[in-house]
Structure 1
Amino acid sequence: MTQKRINISSGAPWEAIVGYSRAVRIGNTIEVSGTVAVEGDQLIGFGDPYIQTKVIIQKIENALQQAGASLSDVVRTRIFVTDISQWEAVGRAHGEFFSEIRPCTTMVEVSRLISPEYMVEIEATALILAE
């Protein structure tokens, strides 16, 4: 049985250049690409990892909704931060969305993200369970 692939686009010009989608759904699984706190060409929450994390999760939620899912379907997040000493701010924002859902998660420090202003990048995996 072949399962249909659905690519979800954010409309960012980088998707075509780099060759990626904001999210991909195959069957009941949705993978959301690494997401940063950028709307259009503007970073939201400059210098504030808490605000960046909130904006990112809202963007992930939007991608999931386009794929027919919600944050409650998230089973895993991967959080990349450029300064691990800011883990509490990032974790607090993550917890505001996921305190009841409680997906598996990983937070790691990376030397840098694609732009020096980006402090946080998050990926997510969602699994839609049959009712």
Structure 2
Amino acid sequence: MGFSRAVRAGAHVAVAGTAPLGDDGTTVGHGDVHAQTVRCLDIAEAALAAVGASLDDVVRTRIMLTDITTWREAARAHGERFAAVRPVTNFVEVSRFIDPDWLVEIEVDAIAEQDADADEGEDEDE
């Protein structure tokens, strides 16, 4: 497909929309917004780590849901990870995702301290 899961440019890190996919490529947490949100955040956390950042560096999250009435379930999972960090966030309803089993996708932006091991422009490709 030709995209990167995460790109780091200096201190700024952008993580692309993460879907609730397991390591085998199948959807995790069928019908469960909380479980799917947790999985999306797991993927985002790994992508951040791959470019030398962490959840502590996150400044913005975007949570996209196919049913906005389920926002509290997503918010609970978000709060479990970000209670101390408190990034700005927004919840938006979308009509659908590529896979109809996906109930949520999450994008993340972070500002990470410069690290001698992190190369500017480094990315984790998909």
Match of 2:92 among 98, 108, 130: 108
Aligned partner letter, 1:68: G
2:112 equivalent to 1:128: yes
Aligned residues: 114
Distance 1:116 1:28, change over 3 A: same
Task: Measure the CA separation in 1 of the matches of 2:87 and 2:39.
Answer: 18
Higher relative contact order (CA 8 A, sep 6+): 2
Residue equivalent to 1:23? 6
Structure 1 residue runs without a partner (length 5+) = 1-16
Normalising by the residue count of structure 2, what TM-score does the alignment of the two structures yield? 0.87
Q: Quote the Cα distance in structure 2 between the aligned partners of 1:120 and 1:24.
A: 21
Task: Please give the residue correspondences for 1:29-48 in structure 2 after superposition, counting only pairs within 5 Å.
Answer: 29-39=12-22, 40-48=24-32
Give the TM-score normalised by structure 1. Answer: 0.84
Consecutive unaligned residues of structure 2, counting only runs of 5 or more, are 116-126
**What percentage of aligned pairs have identical amino acids?**
47
Indicate the RMSD between aligned Cα atoms, in angstroms.
1.2
Q: Give how far 1:130 is off.
A: 5.4
